Structure 1
Amino acid sequence: MDIEEELFEKLVDDPQQAGGLDPDARRAEPGNFLRHVASLAGSKLADGLIDPKLVLTWLMTHLGAGAALTGLLVPVREAGSLLPQLFTAGAIGAFPRRKWVWAVGSVAQGLAAIGIGLVALTLQGVVAGAVIVGLLAVLALARSACSASYKDVLGKTVGKSRRGTATGLASSIASGGVILFAVVLLWGGLPREVLVIAAIMLAGAFWVLGGAIFATLREQAQPRQGVMTGGQALSQLSLLRSDAQLGRFVAARAALVGTALAPPYLLLIGAGQDGNERQLGLLVLASALASLLSSYVWGRLSDRSARQVLIGAGLAGGVALAIALGLAWMGLAGSIWAIPAVLFGLMIAYHGVRQGRSTYLVDMAPEDQRASYTAVSNLVVGLVLLAAGALSAGLAALGPLWVIAVFALASFAGAWIAYGLDEVSA
């Protein structure tokens, strides 16, 4: 037994089960499992190091890019990762080995991240901000290709009962790395801008390395047929009229996008205040801890009632943002603990929204229409993200508190809309 097989048997509960794999894929599974963990951990760690909600927002503020461009970071990243999947899934499905799509997409993300680091070293102001937003759009497009291809590759190379272990282990490793990054920021041995730019460059290196590792997967050639094209996805919009519950679910999900879009504005209301030099480290730490502590709990609760998770997460997001407004009104938003504490609560809500919406859609959709329901939901919410990002960036001209107030109201509205959903969880 070689080292790969020994590690595989120690990391999974049922190494001897076939897990839906044929004999050839089964023989290659131990090595493929470890390659999945390594490449996905690198990708997730890179995500944390360049986090548009916090790290890029801080960088844009430091460069003097302005609130309008800063407000575009998260919607460009989220919508850019979501919308292209509708139109690329068919082309990706035609590849005999989809690992190359993920590998090339990961390398492209890495190159875009390195480009952002170089911009931070050479440009300032609005010009720097515009170029960074453009490079982030390229990164998001590459990310969409990775997202559209990953589940298929995972299903072909890792057995059913071991896929969650592979992705969960990768997430845990990445969370540990992000927490270490937060500790380094808090330590403050070097100027904050040096640490941030170094982290962005390191994120680029992790993406490139992850793509190189993923390319070594032993994936069998197996073209897939019947993949929905972008045009077919657009034609499915009629489902919003024919299925009232789908329409209500999409409306709830759209209203709850504020949990994803609000963090940059929280950072803006705390910028330039006392303790700001250490605040970025606290924000990154708060976000990483929220993910580490809440994702599993939300997952278990979603299995019981994804509807109630959406309600609870919406209320939690609205309360967190309302607290931010109250702290700003009392003049406490600049305290070193205030915004990190609010962000911790908001990120717990964000992960609840993510877990609840994913579980609810899978439980609600008829098995033979799951792809159609997913495509419609992604299309509408992707467009809402772009519109909300543009509107909030414009509203930010009046001040970030106005944006936070709107997102707080939208979160409460999302919880109310979710209250009217049917119970679909077992």
Structure 2
Amino acid sequence: MGQAPPLSGSLRIYQRLVKADRSGQDAGQQQATARNGLRQVLANTLQAIGDQVVNAKTVLPWLFASLGAPALFIAFLVPIRESGSMLPQAALTPWIRRLRQRRMAWIGGAAGQAVATALMAFAAATMGGTAAGVVILAALALFALSRSLCSLAGKDVMGDTVPKGERGQINGISTALSGALAITLGLAIRLLGGNDVSPLVLAGLLAAAALAWVCAAVVYAGVREPARDAATEEAGRSNWVAESWHLLRDDRPFRRFVLARTLLLVSALSPPFVVALAAGVGGVGLGGLGPFVIAQGLANLIGGKPFGTLADRSSRRLMTWGAAIAAAVLILFLAALAVPGMRGQWWLYPAVYLLLVLVHTAVRVARKTYVVDMAEGDQRTVYVAVANTAMGVLLLAIGALSGALAALGAEIALGFLALLGLLGVLVSRSLPEVSRR
């Protein structure tokens, strides 16, 4: 019997990183998966590195403080960043579905994020006050719109180029790699930042983030998608408003997923309130930003790959546990604040922030894997788009409600979000299992 041909370098690396049952794939399919998978890992890692800098929960609020932008502008950061990337997706779906090479939409989205981040860097270096705030918010809106293209096209391309059982691991590896670099960034900020808030340092970080997205676009251009016929163009000419409504009305499992994802906002919306509470006990200089950036990086590094593996086994179960743990962390945090003397312990806030972003890493990997696994082909594109558009609307509503409650105190808002998390446990448990092969 002849010996099996030697594995290529890319296939060896991929098989070490991603564990899966490949008995149903021939050598050519394994090689194609490895090539596409590694490119997506690297491109997503570069994008995630940029996300650590263009962070509406940590870096951008610190930047606004250093520039003297009105405090009101800080309240718009998270809604513009999150909702802006979700709301347009259902409207963009018909255009995406007409593309035979959907990686081009991802490349365009990465380029748009690079331009938007460069505009933020320019404003940080040359402007101040209200003018800087307006330009940065406008650039963040462009950033969010561009991100919606990457979100739509990226899940579709992954679903067509990487088999079930491997997709969550790719998301997890990218998250872990970006986390390692975020820790380095956070340590540098902590050690070099001191008590002053320097806009020029943050402008330099934004410029480096813009370069990361340029590199990501170049890498992603090498992904090779399966051929799509002309029927995809006709499929993209439907009425997206009617299609979205019918999908939410008639597809019960999908509707429950959207509801579960809404309740999982507990891990997304609670960290800024923890940071706001921390600001009241010190650490408001640039050096104070470091522990929170480090916490974000640690969460990605620790949780990225393990959570990816767990998501491939059962993304539904991972979402359920994520909601439960996030709610428990908030309840314990609020109990700790009620203990005399604990409120002034500054270490408590980065520690709680770390736990919350670690849980959010699990939830994010799980929900991305779930929506990719629950459908095939163009239906996957529609699911992603409608889910994100619905989430954009719901995020604005829940964000406004939690913001109104925050006027009574950040603790009230955190209590409300903990309640959402408990409800999320019940809804997530009722979802059908889709991730197992």
Q: 2:99 aligns with which of 92, 95, 99?
A: 95
Measure the CA separation in 2 of the matches of 1:425 and 1:216.
Answer: 27
- Tell me the distance in 1 between the aligned counterparts of 2:423 and 2:399: 18
**Counterpart secondary structure, 2:29:** coil
Give distance in 1, aligned partners of 2:160 and 2:252. Answer: 35
Structure 1 pair 370–320 and aligned structure 2 pair: CA distance change class (3 A): same
Deviations 1:144-185 (A, max 9, x none): 112222345556777889877765554443222112101111
Mapped contact 1:72–1:393 kept (Cα < 8 A): no
Distance in 2 (CA, whole Å) between partners of 1:209 and 1:388 is 35
Q: 2:87 touches 2:392 (CA, 8 Å); kept in 1?
A: yes
Which 10-residue stretch deviates more, 91-100 or 216-225? 216-225
Please name the residue that 2:115 is paired with: 111
- Name the CA distance, whole Å, in 2 between partners of 1:114 and 1:303: 36
Q: In percent, how many aligned pairs have the same letter?
A: 33
* Distance change >3 Å, CA 101–CA 138, structure 1 → 2: same
Q: Is the 8 A contact 1:43 1:206 kept in 2?
A: yes
After TM superposition, give the deviation of residue 124 of structure 1 in Å: 3.9
- Where do 5+ consecutive residues of structure 2 fail to align? 1-6, 16-21
CA distance in 2, matches of 1:281, 1:418: 34
Runs of at least 5 residues in structure 1 that lack an aligned partner in the other structure: none
* Matched residue, 1:289: 298
Tell me which residue corresponds to 2:27: 17
Find the residue that maps to 2:28 and give its secondary structure.
coil
Matched to 2:267, the amino acid is: T
- Using the TM superposition, give the Cα deviation of residue 33 of structure 1 relative to its aligned residue in structure 2, in angstroms: 6.2
When normalised by structure 2's length, the TM-score is 0.79
Does 205-214 or 122-131 show the bigger shift?
A: 122-131
The CA RMSD over aligned residues, in Å, is: 3.7
Question: Contact between 1:185 and 1:281, CA under 8 Å: does it hold in 2?
Answer: yes
TM-score scaled to structure 1, two decimals?
0.81
Aligned mate of 2:262, from 254, 258, 281: 254
The structural deviation recorded for 1:424 is: 6.3
1:131 aligns with 2:135: yes
Shift of the alpha carbon at 1:254?
1.2
**Can you list the C-alpha shifts for 1:295-322, whole angstroms capped at 9, x where unaligned?**
4444444455544433322221122223
In structure 1, distance between residues paired with 2:380 and 2:221: 30
More moved, 405-414 vs 362-371? 362-371
Counterparts of 2:99 and 2:249 in 1: how far apart (Å)?
Answer: 35
* SS in structure 2 of the partner of residue 103 of structure 1: helix
Rounded Cα–Cα distance in structure 2 between residues aligned with 1:356 and 1:64: 38
8 Å contact 2:155–2:372 — kept in the other structure? no
Offset at 1:95? 3.5
The match for 2:55 among 43, 51, 67 is 51
Is residue 232 of structure 1 aligned with residue 236 of structure 2?
no
Q: Secondary structure at the match of 2:58?
A: helix
User: What's the offset of the Cα at 1:38?
Assistant: 4.0
2:278 is aligned to 270
Residue 318 of structure 1 is matched in structure 2 by 327
- Kindly provide the CA deviation profile for residues 17-57 of structure 1, in whole angstroms up to 9, marking residues without a partner as x: 22288xxxx5xx88766654443332221112222222113
CA distance in 1, matches of 2:84, 2:255: 23
Greater Cα offset, 134-143 or 64-73: 64-73
Contact 1:42 1:174 survives alignment (8 Å): yes
Give the drift of 1:341: 0.7
TM superposition shift of 1:143: 1.0
Contact 1:259 1:350 in 2 (8 A): yes
**Cα deviation, residue 349, structure 1:** 2.2
